[in-house]
Amino acid sequence: MSMINIRRDNPDPFYRYKMPAITSKIEGRGNGIKTAVINGSDVARALNRPPSYVIKYFGIELGAQTQISEDKDRYLVNGQHDAASLQDTLDGFINRFVLCEACKNPETELIITKNGDITRDCKACGKRTPVDIRHKLATFIVKNPPSQAKGKKGAAGAASNTSAQAPDVDDNEDGEPSDDELTKRINAEASELPAAATRADDDTWTVDTSAEAVAARQREVEQGVAGIALEENDAYTIFGEWCSEGEPSDVEIYKKAIELGISDDSKTVQVLPQVIFDKDIVKQIDEHKGLLTKIVASDEHEKALLGGIERLVGLTHPDLIPAVPKILFKLYELDLVSEEVAKKWGTKVSKRYVDKETSKKVRKAAKPFIDWLDEAEEESDSDDE
């Protein structure tokens, strides 16, 4: 099978992202002439998109009707179109619906937002860039979302034909990989690690990463005291203390989590807010959205994120409690916390992360945001009726 660069404007023969060159066959004659895209599913798989998106795009751009039979792996475009013209047309699809607008990397997934917009979630640089919703294919995508999409998040990873290949690494002046390239390497390493084992004390585990608590734990270690501090294999405490020392970048934080084997664990997500946020949390959520998007991958992770924030505002910065609605809205706006998880968390007092009285205060402060979600849902139901 002939393989070509996904970005055909990149002539580098060692470019890691490849796809099969389109092969087509003309069928019929006269008014019934059609073009069969023989390897439509292979091309789509390399782009990490459903074949229907690619074929539908051909139909829209070429002004032709299409026939899509994914179960039979048969894809037809009315009219006579040679492979070269289809390949040229595919370049437009790749630019509009595959490549990250920020880093031009094809390692993206499509996400349908709550208001019907479409974004490209880049697993290489962590940024989310919008798709032009005015294109006719956008309407088709919204009505036929990617099968791997789970509300706001899809499955992590790049196209299957590139996942096992070693990433290209550009070194900076110090001989270290650049942040963008290091992120690619981290993603590749993370995909090869087994999921962290679930601990039996998941409901009660917490770590206080305030400066006072860190100093106290260090004193205990120096005195040889075995307690809540550093157990031999307490990776989460090690992670929290490491993040609290100096000012590691998001890439360095993620790499440390992988090194400790806890990058997929919800308890790691719980630690993060306590070490990357302070009184400027509302602004900092935007600054750290790349890291949070990578590491918050399930409902359980979302609950842990809220739990870590609950500890931050309830125990470390109680003066932030009035800002809880703004914090929740920012998390919701960036698709870091779903409506369902936010409602469950906001309407049930819990001692899982903080004491009961603190939990009550935080949830009381969250009530305006929860009410806003309820009102928005009622308006939506009313519109549907």
pLDDT tens by residue, the chain, 385 residues: 678 999 999 888 888 899 999 999 999 888 889 999 999 999 999 999 999 999 999 999 999 999 999 889 999 999 999 999 999 999 999 999 999 999 999 999 999 988 889 999 999 898 999 999 999 999 999 999 987 543 333 333 333 333 333 333 333 333 334 444 445 544 554 444 443 333 333 333 444 555 555 555 444 433 332 222 334 347 888 888 888 877 889 999 999 999 888 988 888 999 999 989 998 999 999 999 999 988 998 889 999 999 999 999 999 899 999 999 999 999 999 999 999 999 999 988 888 888 889 999 999 999 999 999 888 766 555 555 5
Q: For position 31, which CATH number holds?
A: 3.30.30.170
**Looking at residue 148, what is its pLDDT?**
52
For residue 325, the model assigns a pLDDT of: 94
The tally of domains found in the chain comes to 2
Asked if residue 127 belongs to a domain, the reply is no
Query: Distance (Å, rounded) from C-alpha 123 to C-alpha 163?
Result: 12
Q: Is residue 125 part of a domain?
A: no
Tokens of 328: 């929740």
pLDDT value of position 276: 92
- In whole angstroms, what is the distance from residue 124 CA to residue 185 CA? 9
Q: Which residues of 177-214 are buried (b: 16+ CB within 10 A; e: fewer)?
A: beeebbbbbbbbebeeeeebeeeeeeeebbbbbeeebb
Are 205 and 67 within one domain?
A: no
Residue 288 lies in a domain: yes
CA 241/CA 376 separation, integer angstroms: 41
Residue finishing a domain among 55, 82, 107 = 107
Q: Let me know whether 205 and 311 are in one domain.
A: yes
Question: In this predicted structure, what is the pLDDT of residue 198?
Answer: 34
Tell whether 78 and 195 lie within a shared domain: no
Based on the domain organization, do 97 and 206 belong to the same domain?
Answer: no
Considering the domain architecture, whether residues 99 and 246 belong to the same structural domain is answered as no
Residue 357 lies in a domain: yes
- Do 243 and 275 form a contact (C-beta atoms < 8 A)? yes
What is each CA distance from 176 to 15, 119, 128, 189, 290, in whole angstroms?
21, 31, 26, 17, 21
208 and 89: one domain?
A: no
pLDDT, residue 16, reads: 86
Q: Whole domain around residue 356: which residue ranges?
A: 179-384
74 and 184 both lie in a single domain: no
Could you say which of 107, 142, 164 is where a domain stops? Answer: 107
pLDDT value at position 154? 35
CA angle 335, 190, 44 (to 5 degrees): 70
Contact 226, 264 (CB under 8 A): no
Strands (E), the chain: 3-5, 18-20, 24-27, 34-37, 66-69, 74-78, 108-112, 118-122, 128-130
pLDDT at 241: 83
Alpha-carbon span 266 to 253, nearest angstrom? 15
How confident is the model at residue 119, as a pLDDT? Answer: 94
What is the CATH number for 204? 1.25.40.180
